[in-house]
């Protein structure tokens, strides 16, 4: 169950943003995607999730072409994304936000998944009936991770999970992500530097102005 990206090109409004991106995240491993603001991390994750049209190239997971996969099929295949900006629905409760992907994608074992999410993140179970707008930014990140985990049992894309999170919660997030890694998920974590992800990952890619190369190599 490898994530494979080959020669991916993405433009936004005729401006090339991702240029010939190739990378792979091997089965059950956690990899970092490190790059400054504006380097293209979010664009790459959104392209993998089929949220952006691509100009060309291949994106596959477990041999299946993600470019041709509908949203609900992605969710059913265990592929999920935690956006940088959390995107919770403020007026809904924590539990309703977490359940949202199950409702919209027809996930049948939602109850078991929810229990698993609460086992992994017991702190959010405590405020499951609170509205999202009542939570701190860090708490919202945990809820956003919980929501991504509802469908995300095989491949999880985490877009800057540590951004804007206070140190105590960052340590907790690291712990949770490390546990996820041990449970065999394939994970791609983006970060502007590798200060949090370096202890979690088995390898990293660096992204600079839309081009990607293994972190220990300089671009050609």
The stretch near ligand ATP (CB under 6 A) out of 10-18, 21-29, 61-69, 179-187 is 10-18
17 binds ligand ATP (CB under 6 A): yes
43 binds ligand ATP (CB under 6 A): yes
Residue number with CB closer to ligand ATP (40 or 151):
40
Q: How far is the CB of 153 from ligand ATP (least distance, A)?
A: 25
Residue number with CB closer to ligand ATP (123 or 208):
208
16 binds ligand ATP (CB under 6 A): no
Rounded to whole angstroms, the Cα distance separating 23 from 206 reads: 10
Residue number with CB closer to ligand ATP (43 or 97):
43
The sign of the dihedral angle between the CA atoms of 145, 146, 149, 151 is: negative
Rounded to whole angstroms, the Cα distance separating 118 from 146 reads: 8
Candidate list 3, 21, 42, 185; residue touching ligand ATP; CB under 6 A = 42
Candidate list 29, 41, 98, 148; residue touching ligand ATP; CB under 6 A = 41
Instruction: Identify whether the C-beta of residue 20 lies closer than 8 Å to the C-beta of residue 208.
Output: no
Whose tokens are 């990899």? That residue is 31
39 binds ligand ATP (CB under 6 A): yes
Residue number with CB closer to ligand ATP (40 or 154):
40
Q: How far is the CB of 149 from ligand ATP (least distance, A)?
A: 22
DSSP string, the chain: --EEEEEEEEEETTEEEEEEEEEEE-TT-EEEEE--TTSSHHHHHHHHTT-S--SEEEEEETTEEGGG--HHHHHHTTEEEE-TT----TTSBHHHHHHHHHHHHT-TTHHHHHHHHHHH-HHHHHTTTSBGGGS-HHHHHHHHHHHHHTT-SSEEEESSTTTT--HHHHHHHHHHHHHHHHTT-EEEEEESSSTTGGGT-SEEEEEETTEEEETTS---
83 binds ligand ATP (CB under 6 A): no
Q: How far is the CB of 200 from ligand ATP (least distance, A)?
A: 19
Candidate list 29, 32, 35, 187; residue touching ligand ATP; CB under 6 A = 35
Q: Per CB under 6 A, which of residues 160..219 are in contact with ligand ATP?
A: 160
129 binds ligand ATP (CB under 6 A): no
Q: How far is the CB of 43 from ligand ATP (least distance, A)?
A: 3
Q: Which residues make up the interface to ligand ATP (CB under 6 A)?
A: 12-13, 17, 35, 37-43, 160
């Amino acid at each position: 169950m490898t994530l494979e990206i080959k020669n991916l090109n993405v433009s936004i409004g005729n401006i090339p943003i991702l240029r010939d991106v190739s990378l792979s995240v091997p089965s059950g491993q956690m990899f970092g995607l490190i790059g400054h603001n504006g380097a293209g991390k979010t664009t790459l994750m959104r392209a993998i999730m089929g949220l952006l049209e691509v100009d060309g190239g291949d994106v596959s997971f477990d041999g299946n072409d993600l470019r041709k996969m509908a949203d609900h099929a992605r969710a059913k295949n265990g592929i999920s994304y935690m956006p940088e900006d959390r995107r919770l629905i403020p007026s809904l409760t924590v539990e309703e936000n977490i359940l949202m992907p199950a409702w919209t994608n027809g996930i049948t074992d939602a109850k078991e998944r929810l229990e698993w999410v609460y086992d992994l993140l017991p702190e959010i179970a405590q405020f499951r009936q609170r509205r999202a707008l009542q939570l701190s930014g860090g708490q919202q990140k945990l809820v956003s991770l919980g929501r991504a985990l509802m469908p995300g049992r095989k491949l999880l894309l985490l877009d800057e999970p540590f951004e804007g999170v206070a140190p105590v919660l960052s340590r907790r997030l690291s712990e949770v992500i490390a546990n996820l890694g041990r449970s065999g998920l394939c994970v791609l974590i983006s970060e502007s530097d590798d200060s949090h992800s370096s202890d979690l990952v088995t390898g990293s890619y660096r992204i600079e102005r839309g081009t990607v190369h293994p972190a220990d190599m300089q671009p050609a």
